[in-house]
Amino acid sequence: MQVVGTTTQQEVWVASRDRKFVINELLLIEDPERENPVGEVVSTSSLNRYLPLAGEKTPLVDEGVLAGLRAVGYRIEEEEIHLARVRLLQEAGTPVTVGARVRRPAFHEVARYLLPARYRDGLVLGVIRGTGHLTSQLPGDLRDVLRLYDPERGLYPQDGVPFIFDHHQMHQYPHIGIFGGSGSGKSFGLRVLLEELMERRIPAVVLDPHLEMDFSEPFPGLPAEFVRDYRDRFAVFTVGVDVGIDFTELTSRELAGLLDAVSSLTEAMTNAVETLHRKRDSLVSFGSNLRDLIRALEEEKVLQAVAEDKVADPVERERIKRYKDLLARYKDRVGGVSTLNAISWRLNFLEKEGIFTAGTAVLEEALHRRQLAVVRGPVRLLGVYAAYLFRRLYTRRREFQDARARGQEAPWFPPFVLATDEAHHFAPRGEREVPARNIIREIAQEGRKYGVFLILATQRPALLDDTVTAQLNTKIIFRTVRALDIAAIEQETDLVREELARLPYLASGNAFVSSALVGRTVPVRIRAARTASPHVVNPFDELAQRAGEADRRLLEVIAPLLPLGAFNLDLHLPTIRAKLGTGISFQELLDRLRVLAREGHLRVEPTPFGEQFLPGR
C-alpha cells in the first residue's frame, strides 16, 4: 500500500495492487516527518484500467487474446488496482509525502484514537467498525466484553475494538441525539444506552409511549456470561396510576396544554383557562370555580333579578353572592357557557384518568435509588406529562444545586438523564405550541450546569427543534433515507460527503457517532442488547399460532367421534358445540373438517352417503 496522487494535510489517496480496502479501517502512513499519521478509509474503489467501460477509448479485448495470455500465466483480471480515500484522524502540519508506504497499524499505535482515557468505566456501546484485525491484540479487559447481533448471522462474538463512550465527559458535552429511520437499529441503540446507564446506576427517566422499555427478559440466546439482571435497576410508572400531576404545581399554560392534550382547545378556551386558573389552585378550587361559573352564567338572568340580602336561607344567600362575584370577575373574560363546558369535560376526563390522584414522589424515590424510571402512558398525555415531570425534576435538581452554590443546606437530589424516543413529538421545530418543548429547550441549554442530561431519539431529526438539536453534542446516526433528514444531519454534524452518502445504505445496527467528545466521526456497530423488548412476537406469527390452536382444539374434540360424515354430523353436532363452547353451524363444521383434511390432519373417503372423515395418518 502506498500514498498516491495529490495529498493534503487532511486527506490522501492510498493505492494497493493486491489488497482490497475495507471501509473505515485505520491505516498508518509511514511518513516520519509527519509522525506517521493514522487515517481512516472513508471511501474505497477498485478499478481495472484494462477492462474499460464500453464506450471508452480503449477497445474491448477479445477473448482469444486473453486466452493466449492466460497460457503464459497472465490474467488481466489481476490488473485490478484498489484505491482508498483516507482521512487523517489528526491534521498533519504539511501535506503527507506522496509515495509513502502505508500499512495496517498495531493496536498500541492507534489505541489513543480509539479509546477514551477513562475507558474502564465508560459506556460500552458497540465496536468500532474497521478495527476487526485489532481484536487479537486487545488487552484482556477489552476483549470479549460484548456480543454483536445481526438478523442474518444471529449473535456473534466481538469483532473489533469496543466503542466506549466516556459519560464523565458529558459534564462538558452533555446531550446525546439518536437519529435513524425505522428498522435502522435506533431503538436498539437507545436500549443499549439505557442498559449502560443502569449498569453504572446512573439515575434516568425514559418516556415509553410504545411500552417497549422493559428490561427483565434477557436477549434470546445470549450466553450466560453476558446476561445481566436489571430487574432491580429499573421501575415502571404509568401516568394516572402510579404517577401523576400535583395540580397545585401546574402553571396556567401547563394546565391549558394538559387540557389541549385531551382534545384541542380553541383560542377562547385557552384564554378562559388562563383567566380562571390561579397560582397554587387545587383541583378542587379550580374545578368548583369552573362549575360554579357555568351555573352562574346559565342562571344569570335569574340571579340578576334576586337581591341576595333579601334571601333568607344563609346557604342560598352565600351561593348567590358567590355566583354574582364570579360573574362580576370573569363574565367578560371567559367567553360563553359552551366554552366553559368544553373545558369542564376535558378536566373531568383527566380526573377520571387519575392523572391528578398521584404525584411524582415514587418516581423521585426511584431516582434517589439510582434506578431507571420508565414512564408509560398514551402519547398525547405523555407529551403534557413530560412537560410537567421534566420541569419538576429539573427544578428539584436546580434548587439543590443553587442552594449549595449559595452555601445553604438543601435536600440532595441526584443528577439524572432524561431520555425519550420520538423526541420530535416532544420538542418539534416550528410555531406550534407544544407543552414539553420549552423545558426540553431549557435543559438542552442549561442542563449541563445542573447535571441534567438529555438523550433524544427520533427518526425525523429534521423535525426536531433547532435549539435542541444544536445542543446535542453527541449524535448517533443510524440509517436515514429521507433527504430532508440527511440535510439536517449534514448541518448538525461533521459527517463528510462520503459518510452522508452511505447513510441510506447503513445496515441495521451500524451507525456513525459524531461527537464533540471524540472529536471525529466514528463508525460503530452497536452491540447486541442484553435484554429484549417485550413485544417481539410478529403479529403474523401470532395469527398462524392462533389458527393452529383452534385447529388442534377441534381435532381433540372430534377425535373420539371419528369417523364423521355428512350422515352422522347432525348427531354429534350438539356434543361438539358443547365441547368447543361455540355455536358452530353444521356447514361451518363441515367446512372446517374439509380444511383439516386438505392440510392432512384427517383422511377423507367417499361413501354412498357423501364424504367420510377418518383419523389422519
Partner 1 sequence: MACLRAFSRELRHRSAMLGDRAALRERILRAGGRIVRLGGCGDYPFGSAPLVAVDGSTHGFGGSYPFVLHLFRAAARSSRGERVVEHGFLSPLVAAHREEVARVAAREGVPRDYALLLVRDRQLCRLEVRAAAAAVAAFRPALVLFDGGFLRYAHHAPEEWEEYCATARAAGAVSVGVIEEAASGGLARAVVGEGFYDRDLLFGLLDPGEALFLPPVKRGVYTVFARLSRHPQAVACDFLPEHSQQAPAVMEYLYRITPSDSRGIPLFLDLVDAEVRLDEREVELLLTTWVEADLRERFLVPHRARRTY
Q: Which residues bind partner 1 (CB under 8 A)?
A: 5-6, 49-50, 59-62, 64-65, 68-69, 71-74, 76, 78-79, 97-98
Q: Work out the widest C-alpha separation in the chain, in whole angstroms.
A: 125
Which C-beta is closer to partner 1: that of 78 or that of 313?
A: 78
Whole-angstrom distance, CA of residue 443 vs CA of residue 430: 19
Which C-beta is closer to partner 1: that of 52 or that of 414?
A: 52
Which C-beta is closer to partner 1: that of 72 or that of 315?
A: 72
Which C-beta is closer to partner 1: that of 62 or that of 225?
A: 62
Which C-beta is closer to partner 1: that of 79 or that of 541?
A: 79
Amino acid of residue 354 = G
Rounded (10°) angle between helices 539-558 and 569-580: 130
Mode of pairing for the β-strands spanning 81-88 and 147-150: unpaired
Spatial CA neighbour of 24 closest among 89, 97, 75, 81: 89
Give me the helices (H) in 96-137, please.
107-114
SS3 92: coil
For residues 181 and 484, is the Cβ–Cβ distance under 8 A? Answer: no
Whole-angstrom distance, CA of residue 166 vs CA of residue 142: 15
Amino acid of residue 572 = H
How far is CA 147 from its chain centroid? 21
Q: How far is the CB of 25 from partner 1 (least distance, A)?
A: 25
Q: How far is the CB of 72 from partner 1 (least distance, A)?
A: 4
For residues 489 and 500, is the Cβ–Cβ distance under 8 A? Answer: yes
E strand residue ranges, 361-503: 372-376, 416-420, 452-458, 474-477
Which C-beta is closer to partner 1: that of 50 or that of 586?
A: 50
Which C-beta is closer to partner 1: that of 88 or that of 477?
A: 88
Q: How far is the CB of 98 from partner 1 (least distance, A)?
A: 5
Q: Residue 7 gets which letter from DSSP?
A: -
Q: How far is the CB of 97 from partner 1 (least distance, A)?
A: 8
Cell 433524544 sits on residue: 456
- Taking residue 205's Cβ as centre, other Cβ atoms within 10 Å add up to 25
Q: How far is the CB of 498 from partner 1 (least distance, A)?
A: 23
Cell 479487559 sits on residue: 141
Which C-beta is closer to partner 1: that of 60 or that of 559?
A: 60
Whole-angstrom distance, CA of residue 551 vs CA of residue 72: 69
Q: How far is the CB of 67 from partner 1 (least distance, A)?
A: 8
Q: How far is the CB of 68 from partner 1 (least distance, A)?
A: 4
Cell 363546558 sits on residue: 341
Q: Which three cell numbers stand for residue 33?
A: 516527518
Which C-beta is closer to partner 1: that of 77 or that of 365?
A: 77
Signed CA dihedral, 350, 352, 357, 359: sign only: negative
Q: How far is the CB of 540 from partner 1 (least distance, A)?
A: 55
Whole-angstrom distance, CA of residue 178 vs CA of residue 188: 10
Q: How far is CA 325 from CA 289, 304, 310, 320, 349, in A?
A: 11, 12, 17, 8, 28
Spatial CA neighbour of 277 closest among 294, 255, 293, 257: 255
Q: How far is the CB of 26 from partner 1 (least distance, A)?
A: 25
Which C-beta is closer to partner 1: that of 98 or that of 155?
A: 98
Whole-angstrom distance, CA of residue 421 vs CA of residue 200: 21
Amino acid of residue 265 = L
Residue 474's Cβ-side half-sphere holds a number of Cα atoms within 13 Å equal to: 22
Q: How far is the CB of 138 from partner 1 (least distance, A)?
A: 36
Whole-angstrom distance, CA of residue 136 vs CA of residue 143: 8
Amino acid of residue 252 = S
Which C-beta is closer to partner 1: that of 72 or that of 305?
A: 72
Which C-beta is closer to partner 1: that of 57 or that of 280?
A: 57
Q: How far is the CB of 183 from partner 1 (least distance, A)?
A: 45
Q: How far is the CB of 9 from partner 1 (least distance, A)?
A: 14
